[in-house]
Amino acid sequence: MTAELRKRRQEELETALAEARAALDRKDLEAAVAAFERARAAGAAPKLVARDHALALSELGRHAEAVDAFRDWFAKRKKDGDTQNLMGVLLKRAGRLQKAVEVFERARQLQPKGLSPWQNLGNVHAQLGNHEEAVRCYRGALRLSPKSPDLWRLLGRSCLAAGRTEEAIASYRKGLALAPANQTLAALLLQALLQTRQWDEARSFIGGLCAAHPDDSEFAVLAARLAFRTGNTDTAVRQLDEVLAREPGNLSANLQIATIFADSDRRRANEALERAVAAHPQSFDALDRLIDSLVRSRYDSETAHLERAYVLSRRLVERFPSRIPDAARSLRMVFMRVMDEERMAATGSFHRLLPIWLGEMRHTAALHELGQISGMDDRLALVDWHRAWGRRVAAVVRPVTPVAMPALATGRKLRIGFMSSDLRNHPVTYFALPLFEGYDPEKVEVFCYSFSERRPDSLHRQIAGKVTAFRHWPKMADAAVAEGIAADGLDILFELGASTAMNKLEVMAYRPARLGASWVGYPHSAGLEQIDYILTDPYITPEDPRLLIERPFEMPETWVTLSRMFGEVEIAEDLPEARKGQLTFGTANNPYKYTPSCLDAWAAVLRAVPGSRFLFLRPEAAAASFVANSRAAFARRDVDPDRLDYIGVRGAHLKHYNEIDIALDTLPHTGGTTTCETLWMGVPVVSLVGPGFPERLSYSNLSNAGLGDLAVRTVDDYVAQAVGLAADRTRRQQLRHGLRAQIRSLPLGQPERFTRHFYDLATRVAAE
């Protein structure tokens, strides 16, 4: 290189560096990044550009590029603690949490008296769900900086996630002693007090804060949160409306309004969350909550809500890659529903996420994970997670004392209760209805408990007119519900909904009845050891007893029966194959059950039956994202995506089973209600039987409908059974118009027989 060329390169380098510094000074990160790239091209040494270039890229959300930009300098400075620490920060922002742990640990060793590596290491462990490790790190940081309110906050958060609630409360109090007006610490202390049911302490704490800071909106929001959690919803809404009248964009007030109306008025909840996101575009919590609410929204256009949730989910992943584990519950729900396999996989395995959800006590997150298993270790881990959740709930609950009743042997009536917010026009009630309509009032008293925040519908009113008592307690606090149930002196209380919307699973931890039982709403052990039984049958009961926490309340034939609510929807005269000229496989199952192994099996069937088609009968099928992603998923599996069909509908979907020749069940989590509907419409279902409860639902339905041969034990047999059934047009024709009558002659279709067996078994169990 000539001297003149070297001079010109040096001038280019100096100019680029000067432009980069000037751009940073005026906070023009895009210009700074461009200038740093020119400086690198001109030969700038890493020590001149690496740090600032990487930080500018990271601030722009280009986290993977930031790591690459810092890599050379990082490699040269293996023994410099500050360099190691910064690389850990960049890796954390890029979502590479395990690698960040390794780098932060090295930084901590290089800087034993450095506060930042301790804190950063604790933060990453907390995100990974390694709560005990996070506690260790924050304690290490506090030894260096004992007067940091923020460190006491972080320690308290991890203690709470680790189930060490009293230590968490003590940590928050120490932080507040150092910063008495710290709103975040106050909110966390209130959360811990509510989680441990320390109601009086919570009231005293919030009352003192509001008295000391009467004009502080954040403390007013905390008062509203306390009012809501203790059953005073009207007071909570009034307090929040007062805050929002002054500050329409107040983040915490809008988030709390969304919490209150999440189930009863989804539109109002979404309006609050949209205000929060608009006023706080950099708020992770607001964006995550909006995604979660949109994906659950059914009013107006469900498809439009789903598509917007998908757009926002991709935005969250790009903007907050290090927070993906924190948002995994909502992200996974969206990505499952639109069949985005790649992004779904990128949210992490359920083994990685379960500790996080346990720390947050998110029982609802586990429902969509029941099919995300591949071996016995996975199944046992899921059972252990539920048990650990239940023990944490029970640890902070004081059991109530049910009203004493004479022994059943004295001749009194059996008193049995059913607790669910779905005692309305809902699939749970479709199965439970025979028990409300067909019991013998001379022998049994039936009590129902609903917490639904929706206006009672006709089915709700019909049930109320049939049973001994119907308690409708919307938004009532758990402890009050437990006391109310205990006053009814029940022999057995069945919960029918676990932690699905508006249900109160935690009430079972209070033991409000002499015996507790679970049925139909949650196809797995719920986790509470205060639930003595789970209703099963000879087909559903797992062969390995480790896969249930409760004792089986085993019905002699079937765990469900078809009530009058399944109706008489007309079955088309001809097979779909005869009308269309090709055979159609299909499913109406929820996409959260479409695991990669399930899609593999479906694709194998389609490849084995040339010319056949596959129909998705789902609300999601109306969404462009679902169509695009499902086509891509089948194309990856060597199936022409033009063989896929879509009917996007919610509600009036039974008639569309007339478009399906053979239903292919999901696996490993099989259908339940969907399988019953499919069979009722004369459509055979091919299912795979697995070891666990959610893997045996269809096995029970098929066996109790006289089609047990369609439930097989291996994927190869699943494919072979589907192929064989496709070739057996005669059998399919017979089933199309004979299966409904066949069901009526067998346990699945005989509600009176089911009801008799249920109350006979309940009487025996209660008398033991």
In this model, does residue 341 exceed pLDDT 80?
yes
In this model, does residue 498 exceed pLDDT 90?
no
In this model, does residue 123 exceed pLDDT 70?
yes
Which pLDDT band, with edges at 50, 70 and 90, does 2 fall under?
low
Once rounded to an integer, what is the mean pLDDT over residues 65-78?
89
Once rounded to an integer, what is the mean pLDDT over residues 55-80?
88
Which pLDDT band, with edges at 50, 70 and 90, does 413 fall under?
very high
Which pLDDT band, with edges at 50, 70 and 90, does 27 fall under?
confident
pLDDT tens profile 136-191: 999 999 999 999 999 999 999 999 888 888 999 999 999 999 999 898 999 999 88
- Give me the phi and psi of 156, to 5 degrees please: -60, -40
Q: Which domains does the chain have, with CATH numbers?
A: 408-561+753-767 (3.40.50.11380), 569-749 (3.40.50.2000)
Once rounded to an integer, what is the mean pLDDT over residues 392-397?
88
DSSP 8-class letter at 496: S
Among 192-196, 465-469, 612-616, the minimum mean pLDDT is found in: 192-196
In this model, does residue 8 exceed pLDDT 80?
no
Other CB atoms within 10 Å distance of the CB of residue 193: 24
The pLDDT value recorded for residue 85 is 92
CA dist., res. 538 & res. 747, Å (int):
13
Highest mean pLDDT among 55-64, 473-482, 515-524: 515-524
In this model, does residue 13 exceed pLDDT 90?
no
Q: Classify 444 as helix, strand or coil.
A: strand
Which helix H or strand E contains 594, and what residues bound it? none
Half-sphere exposure at residue 59, Cβ-oriented, CA atoms within 13 angstroms: 14
Which pLDDT band, with edges at 50, 70 and 90, does 237 fall under?
very high
Token pair recorded at residue 29: 């990160």
Among 24-38, 546-560, 626-640, 648-662, the minimum mean pLDDT is found in: 24-38
Q: Classify 26 as helix, strand or coil.
A: coil
What average pLDDT does the chain have?
A: 93
In this model, does residue 714 exceed pLDDT 60?
yes
Which pLDDT band, with edges at 50, 70 and 90, does 1 fall under?
low
The pLDDT value recorded for residue 292 is 96
Share of the chain above pLDDT 90, in %: 75
CA dist., res. 620 & res. 649, Å (int):
8
Which pLDDT band, with edges at 50, 70 and 90, does 565 fall under?
confident
The pLDDT value recorded for residue 466 is 96
Among residues 61, 54, 57, 44, the alpha carbon closest in space to that of 85 is found at 54
Once rounded to an integer, what is the mean pLDDT over residues 543-560?
97
CA dist., res. 49 & res. 35, Å (int):
10
In this model, does residue 731 exceed pLDDT 90?
yes
pLDDT tens profile 190-217: 889 988 889 899 999 999 989 989 989 9
CA-only gyration radius of the chain, Å: 29
Which pLDDT band, with edges at 50, 70 and 90, does 303 fall under?
very high
CA dist., res. 325 & res. 332, Å (int):
10
Share of the chain above pLDDT 70, in %: 99
Tell me which of 500 and 444 has the higher pLDDT.
Answer: 444
- Contact indicator for 216, 242 with CB cutoff of 8 Å: no
